[in-house]
Amino acid sequence: MSVTFPIRDASDTSIMRAAAACDADVICTFDADFYTLEVASLCAAMGMTVLDDVSLLRRLRP
């Protein structure tokens, strides 16, 4: 499946492709480009959530 990622920084495309290819649940980043409505919506549609490190730790902590 070929997906066009609506991300501003072309260097982030490889991260999006890798996350999609391995069926990632989470992308953990501080990069603001991943938090735009377009990117977050696409990630959600693919079953991924974009989180920062603190939010990820809170999610993982029992």
pLDDT digits (tens, 9 = 90+) for 13-52: 899 999 999 999 999 999 999 999 999 999 999 999 999 9
pLDDT of 58 over the 80 cut: yes
What is the C-alpha to C-alpha distance for residues 22 and 52, in angstroms, rounded to an integer? 19
Exposure letters 3-20 (e unless 16+ CB within 10 A, then b): eebebeeeebeebbeebb
Q: Closest by alpha carbon to 8, among 44, 27, 29, 35?
A: 35
Diameter of the chain measured on Cα atoms: 37
Q: Residue 8: which pLDDT band, with cuts at 50, 70 and 90?
A: confident
